[in-house]
Structure 1
Amino acid sequence: MNQRRQRPLAIGPLRAFEAVARRLSFSAAAEELHLTQSAISRQIRALEEEIGSTLFLRGTRHVELTSDGASLQTSVVAALERLDGTVRQIRQAKGRRVVNVTSFASFASMWLLPRLPEFQRQHPDIDIRVSALDQVIDLDDSELDLALRYCPPQKMPPSSTRLFGEILTPVVSPWLLREAEAQGTPLRRPADLVNFSLAEEDDQRPSGLFLSWHRWLAEQGLADLQPRRWMFLNFTYQQIQAALSGQALALARLALVGESLERGDLVEPFGEAGRIGSPSAYWLLLSRHGGSRPEVVLFASWVRDQARLTRLALGEEQVDQEDGLG
Structure 2
Amino acid sequence: MNHLPHLNHLRSFEAAARSLSFTTAADELNYTQSAVSSHIRSLEEFIGRPLFVRFARSLALTSLGEAYLPTVRYALAQVDAATEAIMSPRHDRRVVISCPISLASNWLTDRLTAFAEVHPDIAVTVHGRVWKDEDPEVADIRIVSALANDLPKSATVLWTDRLRVLAAPDAVIDGGPFAAPAQIAKAGLIHNLGRPDYWAAVGRHFQLDTLDPRGGTRTNSLNVAMEMAARGNRLAVVPAAAAAPFIARGLLIAPLDDVESPWVTALSDESLLATREARLLHAFLASGAEP
TM range (shorter): 0.5 to 0.7
Q: Say if 2:149 is the partner of 1:149.
A: no
| Counterpart pick for 2:130 among 124, 129, 133 | 133
Letter in 1 for 2:179: R
What percent identity do the matched residue pairs reach?
22
More helix by share: 1
Aligned-partner Cα distance in 2 for 1:220–1:194: 11
Alpha-carbon RMSD across the aligned residues, in angstroms, is 3.5
TM-score normalised to the size of structure 1? 0.56
| Counterpart pick for 1:198 among 189, 203, 208 | 189
Runs of 4+ in 1 over 4 A off after TM superposition: 62-65, 84-87
CA contact (8 A) 1:105 1:134 kept: no
Aligned-partner Cα distance in 2 for 1:154–1:196: 32
Report matched runs for 1:150-299 at 5 Å. 150-176=145-171, 180=172, 184-203=175-194, 208-211=195-198, 213-225=199-211, 230-270=216-256, 272=257, 275-288=258-271, 290-299=272-281
Aligned-partner Cα distance in 1 for 2:223–2:25: 41
In the TM superposition, what is the alpha-carbon distance from 1:303 to its structure 2 partner? 0.9
Query: Unmatched 5+ residue regions in structure 1?
Result: 1-22, 25-58, 72-83, 311-326
Letter in 2 for 1:304: A
Change (3 A) 1:245 1:130: same
Secondary structure of 1:130's counterpart equals: strand
TM-score normalised to the size of structure 2? 0.62
Change (3 A) 1:223 1:121: same
Report what 1:313 is aligned to.
Answer: none
Change (3 A) 1:133 1:121: same
Query: Unmatched 5+ residue regions in structure 2?
Result: 1-14, 17-22, 33-83
Change (3 A) 1:217 1:127: same
In the TM superposition, what is the alpha-carbon distance from 1:283 to its structure 2 partner? 0.8
Point out the structure with max Rg over C-alpha.
1
In the TM superposition, what is the alpha-carbon distance from 1:143 to its structure 2 partner? 4.4
Q: Say if 2:95 is the partner of 1:99.
A: yes
Select between 187-196 and 160-169 the one with higher mean Cα deviation: 187-196
Secondary structure of 2:262's counterpart equals: strand
Change (3 A) 1:152 1:202: closer
Secondary structure of 1:175's counterpart equals: coil
In the TM superposition, what is the alpha-carbon distance from 1:247 to its structure 2 partner? 4.8
